[in-house]
Amino acid sequence: MHKTIAYQGVQGAYSEQACRNAYATYKTIACNTFQEAMWMVERGDADLAMIPLENSTAGRVEEIYRLIPQMALHVIAEHFEPIVHCLLALPNATLEELKSVASHPQALAQCHNNILDLGLKAEAKLDTAGAAKELVTLNNREKAAIASKLAADIYGLEIIKENFEDIHGNTTRFFILSREKTVPSYEPSKKYITSLVFQVQNIPAALYKVLGGFASNGINLLKIESYMGTQILPGSQFHIDIDGHIDSYILRLALKEVAFFAEDVRILGVYESHREHEVEYTI
């Protein structure tokens, strides 16, 4: 029986492409929302979920950072997926026939200059793969879509132009989520990331005191994201990615200091860094 991995989007979405590249033997499951993909894993209806965190061009995915503190899942890996936009049209359609192009607003923005150069009218849709799917239904040779090569294969569309984005090197970082907690054995020669969330008291310099433990132990923080507190929990909440393994001596020392000043410290996951496989990635 095939293992399964859930993602948000229509068949042919970049998230499905990431699933296939990272877990080639897994069966992919399309979900309408990120939360539905997570629930699939929580219920045991899927083994893993592929969830996008941020894009090197568009920035962070706000909805995901709102869901992370609430989830019961564990981060077991990260994956970086290069985003290569393709200009798609119906089979045998020519570039000269095209008058409009549809896609997600982010994809349209990332291909803005090329769209202008071709004199096409941009039409915003809910997602890239959905625009490709709709193109087949419309059966109009004057219309195009911007989506993945995978979407072209699935819906039988012609790739008019590959690498259609204005700036190459666009990359999305994903978390792979599992119901089961797995922590790789610590090997000093490898690079690891420890992700965690914590709450700080609503007092002056609370975050400074928490982060001091990392600074004094010479530990690098790869990213930090903040969440607003609530009336019940007025203190701010933070998500940080740490360059290191939880079983390393210096990280254990730092986390003791964090626990002294912070509340509700929760390890989201410990996993091997995928960054070393990337030439460049900037959040």
List, for residues 98-135, the tens digit of each pLDDT value: 999 999 998 999 999 999 999 999 999 989 999 999 99
Q: Which CATH class is domain 192-277?
A: alpha beta
Q: What is the DSSP letter of 148?
A: -
Answer whether 54's CB lies under 8 Å from 241's CB: no
Q: For 176-190, what is the mean pLDDT? A: 94
Distance CA 267, CA 115 (A): 44
**pLDDT band per the 50, 70, 90 thresholds, residue 233:** low
Q: What is the DSSP letter of 258?
A: H
CA distances from 91 to 101, 143, 145, 163 (A): 15, 12, 13, 19
Distance CA 57, CA 55 (A): 5
Query: For the chain, what is the mean pLDDT?
Result: 90
Establish how many alpha carbons lie within 13 A of residue 157's alpha carbon, considering only the half-sphere containing its beta carbon.
Answer: 35
pLDDT at 103 (0 to 100): 96
Distance CA 120, CA 128 (A): 17
| 3-class DSSP assignment, residue 12 | coil
- Beta-bridged to residue 200, according to DSSP, are 262
pLDDT at 97 (0 to 100): 96
Q: Please, where in the chain does CATH 3.30.70.260 lie?
A: 192-277
**pLDDT band per the 50, 70, 90 thresholds, residue 60:** confident
pLDDT at 270 (0 to 100): 97
* CATH code, 4-82+171-178: 3.40.190.10
Q: Which range has highest mean pLDDT (165-174, 195-204, 226-235)? A: 165-174
* Residue 237: count of CB within 10 angstroms of its CB: 20
pLDDT at 88 (0 to 100): 98
Q: Is the pLDDT of residue 282 over 60?
A: no
Q: For 48-62, what is the mean pLDDT? A: 88
**pLDDT band per the 50, 70, 90 thresholds, residue 235:** low
pLDDT at 281 (0 to 100): 38
Q: Please, where in the chain does CATH 3.40.190.10 lie?
A: 4-82+171-178, 86-161
Tokens 């993945």 correspond to what residue? 148
Higher pLDDT, 32 or 275: 32
The answer to whether 174 is a known catalytic residue is yes
Distance CA 102, CA 87 (A): 10
The answer to whether 172 is a known catalytic residue is yes
pLDDT at 68 (0 to 100): 85
Tokens 């090569």 correspond to what residue? 149
Higher pLDDT, 96 or 258: 96
Q: For 34-46, what is the mean pLDDT? A: 96
Q: Which of 28, 128, 164, 174 is catalytic?
A: 174
pLDDT at 96 (0 to 100): 95
**pLDDT band per the 50, 70, 90 thresholds, residue 83:** very high
Q: What is the DSSP letter of 186?
A: P
Alpha helices in the chain (DSSP H): 14-22, 34-43, 62-67, 105-110, 112-118, 128-138, 149-155, 206-216, 249-261
| 3-class DSSP assignment, residue 256 | helix
Topology at the third CATH level for domain 86-161: D-Maltodextrin-Binding Protein; domain 2 (3.40.190)
Q: Which of 34, 172, 175, 238 is catalytic?
A: 172
Q: Is the pLDDT of residue 283 over 50?
A: no
